[in-house]
Amino acid sequence: MAVAARALPISRRVVVLCLSGGLLLAACGTDEPATTSDDEASPPSSSSAPDRAEPVAAERVTLDNCGVEVTIDAPPERVVTMNQAATEVLLTLGLQDRMVGTAYLDDEILPGLAHAYDAVPVLADGYPSSETVLDTDPELVYGAYPSAFTAENAGERAALSDVGVASYLSPSACPGRPDDEPLGIETVWREFREIGAIFGAGEAADRLVAEQRARLDDALTAAGEHGSTEVMWWDGGTDVPTVGGCCGAPAMIMRAAGATNVFADVDGAWADVSWEQVAERAPDVIVLVDADWSTAAEKRDLIESTPAVRDLPVVREGRFVVIPFSATTPGVRNVDAIVELIDGLEGS
């Protein structure tokens, strides 16, 4: 299925009732955009509000995005972002002036991006309806999770294409991705480059990747060896804890930090296990994911009072590392999470 970005008149919104019955296609995209261009853009920064990245004359960009062929004839000027990670990628690349709408935060926006974010219309706290999305007359909808592209939310990708709206889904979230296929940080960086190519901001994307790679290399060089440090990533759950499995963002973060995931033999990004399994594997460090719906403090109180695990050395000695949930969605925050984990392992 080919999807091309093109501007349509506001009257397009009358066909929104047709946004149903599409198909989410699977299989991750290629490692690099099929076409990139020589472009000029402001350097990315998470510590201060980014400048606008001016679109440049570019050759057509065509890429395979989760099995959907996306063709962009010119840098889009009207984009809607779904999910915090997608929003923060565009803001970090200085593309806030292209954003006609955004939705669905899991956390406070990164402080350095707050000023730019405040100028972007917020369409909904959660997912907006397809009617609301199409009312912005977008050329592109960019989502971090497949759930953004359902008939009940922004609209299925095929249905958006039918009304002339291109779509982009984070490659790390491709539907049908094998449960035993590890996610790597290079896939996250490929997303930055593909978005840079789409928006004529390839140089800004390259600088962002180089900056993150250098920061990660510096942190690993400064740290000791942690390959034998066994880590449990606790995402949520009480009676049945949900932990990081072999192949999602938690596993990527642990692996990139040089640690061993105690549940690396369990397929999937996340998995439900028992407290008895946690006790058997006796991790050296436990990551407590901090989210509004399951805070790190609540997790610590729970594990310290759970008979099966409260006497483990890791619990008695308080060897915990707190990572915000927003850092576990593939995006600009992942390297921050890796460095935080490295620092936590150093202190454990």
**Residues 203 and 238 occupy one common structural domain:** no
Query: Are both 154 and 78 inside the same structural domain?
Result: yes
pLDDT at 51: 53
Question: What pLDDT does residue 54 have?
Answer: 52
pLDDT of residue 177: 87
**Would you say residue 175 lies in a domain?**
yes
Are 207 and 231 in a shared domain? no
Examine the domain organization and report whether 207 and 336 are in the same domain.
no
pLDDT at 223: 83
Residue 72's H or E segment, with its range, is strand 68-72
pLDDT of 124: 94
pLDDT for 346? 82
CATH of the domain at 264: 3.40.50.1980
Using the 8-state DSSP alphabet, how is residue 126 labeled?
S
Flag whether 219 is in a domain.
no
Give the whole-angstrom CA distance, residue 162 versus residue 265. Answer: 42
Residues 150 and 283 in one domain: no
* Residues whose CB falls within 8 Å of the CB of residue 60, separated by 6 or more in sequence, listed in order: 35, 71, 72, 73
Look at the alpha carbons of 291, 240, 268, 141 in this order and tell me if their dihedral is positive or negative. negative
> Do 182 and 292 reside in the same domain of the chain?
no
User: Do 319 and 202 lie in a common domain?
Assistant: no
Return the ∠ at Cα 223 (arms to 213 and 313), rounded to 5°.
125
Q: Looking at the structure, tell me whether residues 88 and 200 fall in a common domain.
A: yes
* β-bridge partners, 236: 242
The last residue of a domain, from among 154, 179, 213: 213
H or E element in which residue 4 lies? strand 2-5
Position 37 in a domain: yes
Pairing type for strands 2-5 and 61-65 reads unpaired
Residues 199 and 292 in one domain: no
Can you spell out the DSSP letters for 239-296? Answer: SS-EEE-SSSHHHHHHHHTT-EETTTTS-SSEEE--HHHHHHH--SEEEEEEBTTB-H
Structural domains counted in the chain: 2
Q: What is the mean pLDDT for each group of 10 consecutive residues in the chain (348 residues)?
A: 41 37 35 38 42 57 94 96 97 97 94 96 95 97 97 95 96 91 96 97 97 95 80 94 95 95 94 96 97 95 97 97 94 96 86
Q: What DSSP state is assigned to residue 170?
A: -
Q: What is the pLDDT of residue 291?
A: 93
- Residue 221 belongs to a domain: no
Residue 43: what pLDDT?
A: 37
pTM of the model: 0.82
Helix or strand holding residue 79 (H, E): strand 79-82
The answer on 309 and 202 residing in a single domain is no
pLDDT value of position 8? 39
DSSP, collapsed to helix, strand or coil, labels residue 3 as strand
Of 70, 207, 195, residue with least CA distance to 144: 195
Do 35 and 159 have their domain in common? yes
Cα–Cα separations (whole angstroms), residue 214 to 152, 191, 210, 220 = 41, 18, 6, 10
Domain boundary among 176, 192, 213: 213
Considering the domain architecture, whether residues 43 and 144 belong to the same structural domain is answered as yes
Distance in angstroms (rounded) separating the CA atoms of residues 101 and 164: 17
Quote the domain boundaries for residue 293: 226-347
